[in-house]
């Protein structure tokens, strides 16, 4: 029997969790890397990671962060754990900051997840042009490998997510 979403707790991973986090991604056939100024958030059950996501600051001095490597254990999908992780990251990481921009690149089939969590699809050329250059370049590289990859954008100047 699966637990209800509310019975899970998101915690910020600590340095000693790094090997377990990388092992989790490998077990899910997902290639994840820490890219600098990373913060990892995980959900564990019986001391085993069942969900993980990374949020990384850009190299440019901006308020932009990249949400990436959001992966849920295959056996635990359908429990709204991705939404739980997204809300926890945004609420905990950026609670008192004036303006934060969170960018995520994800397959188009995940659009409903991001829209439901107050991201907007950000794929028009003029929208992409407003992203920090490093994220624009990263998106272009990733889209060469996955044509269905979309950009999703969240800004905390829309307080509705923070109120949930």
List beta partners, residue 48.
45
Whole-angstrom CA distances from 70 to 14, 62, 73, 126, 132 are 17, 22, 10, 26, 21
Q: What is the pLDDT of residue 32?
A: 82
Q: What is the pLDDT of residue 163?
A: 44
Q: Within a domain: residue 164? A: no
- The DSSP symbol for 90 reads I
Token pair of 17, please?
A: 């969790």
| Total count of domains within the chain | 1
Q: Within a domain: residue 162? A: no
Q: What is the pLDDT of residue 107?
A: 95
Q: Within a domain: residue 163? A: no
Burial readout 65-95 (b: 16 or more C-beta within 10 A, e: otherwise): bbbbbbbbbeeeeebbbbebbbbbbbeebbe
Parent domain of 78:
5-155
- CATH label of the domain that carries residue 37: 3.40.630.30
Q: Within a domain: residue 161? A: no
Unique residue bearing structure tokens 């992409």: 128
Q: Is 119 exposed, middle or buried (0-12, 13-18, 19+ CB in 10 A)?
A: buried
Q: Within a domain: residue 160? A: no
Q: What is the pLDDT of residue 1?
A: 37
Per-residue pLDDT of the chain (164 residues; tens, 9 = 90+): 345 456 899 999 998 999 999 999 999 999 887 776 889 999 999 999 999 999 988 776 677 899 999 999 999 999 999 999 999 998 877 766 666 889 999 999 999 999 999 999 998 889 999 998 989 999 999 999 999 999 999 987 765 544 44
Q: What is the pLDDT of residue 136?
A: 93
d(CA 152, CA 104): 5
Q: What is the pLDDT of residue 108?
A: 95
Strand pairing report for 64-72 and 120-121? unpaired
3-state secondary structure of 6: helix
């Amino acid at each position: 029997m699966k637990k209800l979403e509310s019975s899970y707790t998101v915690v910020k991973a600590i340095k000693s969790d790094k090997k377990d986090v990388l092992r989790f991604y490998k077990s899910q056939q997902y290639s994840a890397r820490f890219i600098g100024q990373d913060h990892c958030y995980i959900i564990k059950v019986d001391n085993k990671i069942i969900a993980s996501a990374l949020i990384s600051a850009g190299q440019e001095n901006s308020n932009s962060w990249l949400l990436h490597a959001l992966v849920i254990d295959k056996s635990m999908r359908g429990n709204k754990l991705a939404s739980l992780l997204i809300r926890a990251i945004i609420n905990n990481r950026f609670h008192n900051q004036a303006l934060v921009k969170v960018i995520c690149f994800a397959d188009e089939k995940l659009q409903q997840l991001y829209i439901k969590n107050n991201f907007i699809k950000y794929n028009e050329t003029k929208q992409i042009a407003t992203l920090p250059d490093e994220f624009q370049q990263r998106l272009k590289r990733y889209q060469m490998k996955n044509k269905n990859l979309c950009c999703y954008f969240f800004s905390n100047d829309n307080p509705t997510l923070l109120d949930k």
